A and B are shown apart, each in its own frame.
Chain A
Amino acid sequence: MLRNAWVGVLGMALAASVVACGGGSQEAAKPAESAAAAPAAGGGQKVDPATAGSVKGTVTVDGAVPKNDAIKMNADPVCVKANTSPQFQETYMVGADGKSLGNVFVYVKDGLGNYSYDPPTGEATIDQKDCRYHPHVFGMRVGQTLTIVNSDPTLHNIHAMPKGNAEFNNGQPIQGMKMTHTFSAKEVMVPFKCDVHGWMNAYVGVLDHPYFAISDKDGKFDISNLPPGTYTLEAWHEKLGTTTQSVTIGPKESKDVTFTFKAPAAATTN
């Protein structure tokens, strides 16, 4: 009796194994969340373009930053083929002057009060191309559509590791695959990684307002259409952390701001 029962259990286990292993063809990855956009933050007055000013500036680093880590891509022939020269991480993007620092996310952290903003227009895009994320650092709005593209003839997974939003990890095995995602809460920063290619990483700053910028290779950034007021600005770098400063903008005023990060001690020149 017991043997018969067990044989039945064994049969079910085998059947379950077959079912679990079945399922057949490859399918496109689905978006982790619906694309329904969250409403723009704030319910107050609109920003008056006639009085709006701007903050421009530069991000610099004081001292020599460490050399970016070398990347070995030989685990994937497609990545090797796409990158014939020596490859390095994008941690420190230092300008020709040895001081200016790119890939820094600069944003208004505090002081905006109760403004309302137009919904974000267009999409943010992150592309997996040549076994890298493009861009490496970027910003977007809460509720804005993020399009994730795989331009490589190899497979990637896009793994977002937020703390305040929902984590997701989607595979894109076929070249040209796309998926979309929206973040429902502001968060600075959300890291992305590809678990297949351990060197691939990127960061997105998600905000409920449009006042953010990424410093370019010369360390320059520009935040425009900012209403008059006193603001706390924060600059974020993936290794050097954050630094803040206060700035007051009058009507139609443009202020220059410089953020300076301190290089880590005992660094090897980049």
Chain B
Amino acid sequence: MLHRFSKFLAGCTVLLILAGSLVTSNDAGLSVPDWPTSYGWNMFTFPPSMWVANILYEHGHRLIASSVGFLTIIMAAWLWFAEPRRWLRWFGVAALGAVIAQGALGGLTVLFFLPAAISTAHAGLAEIFFCMTVAIALFTSPRWIASGAEPVDDALLRTVATTTTVLIYAQILVGATMRHTGAGLAIPDFPWMFGHVIPDHWSNAIAIHFTHRIGALLVTLAVLATATHVWFHHGDRRELTRPATLILLLVATQVTLGALTVLTQRNVWINSVHVVCGALVLTTSLVITLRTWRVRFSDVRGVRLQADPRRGDEVRLKPDTTSIGARA
């Protein structure tokens, strides 16, 4: 049940990221000029009749964010009282801290008229929070716990997958910087750059945009390396091959969306879905990475899978009271 709830929270976070990207794509970040109130109203009593034009995006983003915040409180409490793994209980607390900090950053960026640094930090922390929700969903899954018995132990894959995830996050930060400094169309053509392979003139905006394109190339290569390694060396491990296949599809989609964002002069929906797809690429890579590190989690056996005699072959989580020494 906790696992289902954590998946639900992760899904809501995807919706929240979409809502946030729609705010930026519509240039609606300051359409509600006050915070935490909305035009002086309590956020939750702001009349729907006033949710017009860009207010719909900004106010909708705030309401979804509040909902995700409350869901995170529930999940953190749930973990705290029901989860036997101590580190995971604190991880839930950290997720709650992240979503509170995220809300504060969102408010600050409105009150300070969207400074690029705060807005970019807001975007960067959003991805971290999303990663945390996905990680919690993964850590609470029966498959994760079951895989502790025969974890994949491949040092090279760990290195490649971790590097890929870090690269993707860095790429997302560059993308966020590009969005919040207005550099999204600094290079207006694709695949060429001002008609050349390398831009023939430079500015800060062009440099940021160029870095994002180079980053896309590096991320694609890194993802290819990870997926290839998985398929060649761990083709029988579905917990790795499935996300490896998925991330290839997501990266192909993401590159296409990035190109279309430029070619359509930042079409609102294409641009926004590009942001969401980037987040999905990141978390898919994170899932692969965490599964490659599963072997290092095996020392922390706070729970184990145990057949529930009352319900046939259904598995339930139960505290593991066996000491590590006794198992060895």
Interface set of A (CB-CB < 8 Å, partner B): 3, 6, 10, 13-14, 17, 20-29, 75-79, 154-155, 157, 159, 161, 167, 169-171, 173, 195-198
| Interface contact A196-B40, CB-CB below 8 Å | no
Interchain CB contact under 8 A, B27 and A198: yes
Tell whether, in the assembled complex, residue B96 and residue A13 are in contact, meaning their CB atoms are under 8 Å apart: yes
For chain B, give the interface size range: 35 or more
A75 closest partner in B (C-beta):
B53
Contact assessment for A155 and B33 in the assembled complex, using a CB-CB cutoff below 8 Å: no
* A198-B55 Cα distance, complex, nearest whole Å: 11
The stretch that binds A, out of B73-81, B209-217, B303-311, is B73-81
B39 within 8 A of A: yes
From 28 to 43 in chain B, residues with beta carbon under 8 angstroms from any chain A beta carbon are 28-34, 36-37, 39-43
B28-A195 in contact (CB<8A): yes
Given known A-B contacts A3-B80, A14-B73, A25 and B40 have beta carbons under 8 A apart? yes
B69 at the interface (CB under 8 A from A): yes
Instruction: Identify which of B66, B81, B96 contacts A21 (C-beta below 8 A).
Output: B66
Q: Which residues of A contact B113 (CB under 8 A)?
A: 159, 161, 167, 169
B32 close to A76 (CB less than 8 A): no
Does the CB pair B73–A171 fall under 8 Å?
A: no
Q: Which residue of B lies closest to A73 (CB)?
A: B53
Is the CB–CB distance between B52 and A155 below 8 Å? Answer: yes
Let me know if A10 and B30 touch, CB within 8 A: no
Partner of A171, one of B27, B39, B53: B39
Q: B93: CB under 8 A from chain A?
A: yes
Nearest Cβ on chain B to A46's Cβ, whole angstroms? 40
- Knowing A157-B33, A171-B32 are in contact, say whether A196-B52 is a contact too (CB < 8 A): yes
Q: Does B26 contact A (CB under 8 A)?
A: yes
Q: A155 contacts which of B28, B43, B55, B66 (Cβ < 8 Å)?
A: B55
**A138–B27 CA distance with the chains assembled, in angstroms:** 25
In the complex, A159 Cα to B69 Cα: how many Å?
29
Q: Are A75 and B52 in contact (CB under 8 A)?
A: yes
**Closest beta carbon of chain A to B55's beta carbon, Å:** 6
Task: Provide 28 A-B residue pairs closer than 8 Å at the C-beta atoms, listed in order of the A residue.
Answer: A13-B73, A13-B96, A13-B100, A17-B69, A21-B36, A21-B43, A22-B42, A23-B42, A24-B42, A24-B45, A25-B41, A26-B40, A27-B40, A29-B40, A75-B53, A79-B53, A155-B39, A155-B50, A157-B30, A157-B32, A159-B30, A161-B113, A169-B30, A173-B39, A195-B27, A195-B28, A195-B30, A197-B54
Which residue of chain B lies nearest to A3 when distances are taken between CB atoms in the complex? B80
Check: B44 CB closer than 8 A to any chain A CB.
yes
In the bound complex, CA of A169 to CA of B27 (Å): 14
In the bound complex, do residue A171 and residue B42 qualify as a contact, i.e. CB atoms below 8 Å apart? no
Residues of A within 8 A of B53 (CB): 75-76, 79, 196-198
- A194 and chain B: residue at smallest CB distance: B31
Tell me whether A26 and B30 are in contact (CB under 8 A): no
Interface residues as binary, B101-121 with A (CB distance below 8 Å gives 1, 0 otherwise): 000000000000100000000
A21 touches B44 (CB 8 A): yes
Query: In the complex, what's the smallest C-beta–C-beta distance from B147 to chain A, in angstroms?
Result: 29
User: In the assembled complex, which residues on chain B have CB atoms less than 8 Å from the CB atom of A195?
Assistant: 27-31, 33, 54
**Apart from A25-B41, A76-B53, A196-B53, 14 more pairs, CB < 8 Å:** A20-B36, A21-B36, A22-B42, A24-B45, A26-B40, A28-B40, A77-B52, A155-B55, A157-B32, A167-B113, A173-B40, A195-B31, A198-B53, A198-B54
- Please, how many angstroms separate the alpha-carbon atoms of A157 and B80 in the complex? 43
Contact A196 B80 (CB under 8 A): no
User: B27 contacts which chain A residues (CB < 8 A)?
Assistant: 195, 198
Verify B31–A157 contact, CB threshold 8 A: yes
* A157 contacts across to B, CB distance below 8 A: 30-33
Which of chain B's residues have a CB closer than 8 A to the CB of A22?
42
Query: Which residues B216-272 have CB closer than 8 A to chain A?
Result: none
Return chain B residues, CB-CB under 8 Å to A25.
40-41
Q: Which of A6, A29, A77 has the most CB of B within 10 A?
A: A6
Which chain B positions have C-beta within 8 A of A169?
30, 33, 113
Interchain CA distance A197-B27 in the complex, whole Å: 10
* Whole-angstrom CA separation of A23 from B44 in the bound complex: 11
The 5 closest A-B pairs by CB, nearest first: A26-B40, A75-B53, A195-B31, A27-B40, A195-B30
Closest to B81 in A: A3
Q: Kindly list chain B residues whose C-beta atoms are within 8 Å of the C-beta of A17.
A: 66, 69-70
Chain A neighbourhood of B55, CB < 8 A: 155, 196
Residue of B nearest to A158 (CB): B33
Chain B residue, CB-CB nearest to A159: B30
Do residues B96 and A171 form an inter-chain contact, with CB atoms below 8 A? no
CB-CB under 8 A from B50, the residues of chain A are 155, 173
Task: Tell me the complex Cα distance, A126–B38, Å.
Answer: 23
Interchain CB contact under 8 A, B73 and A10: yes
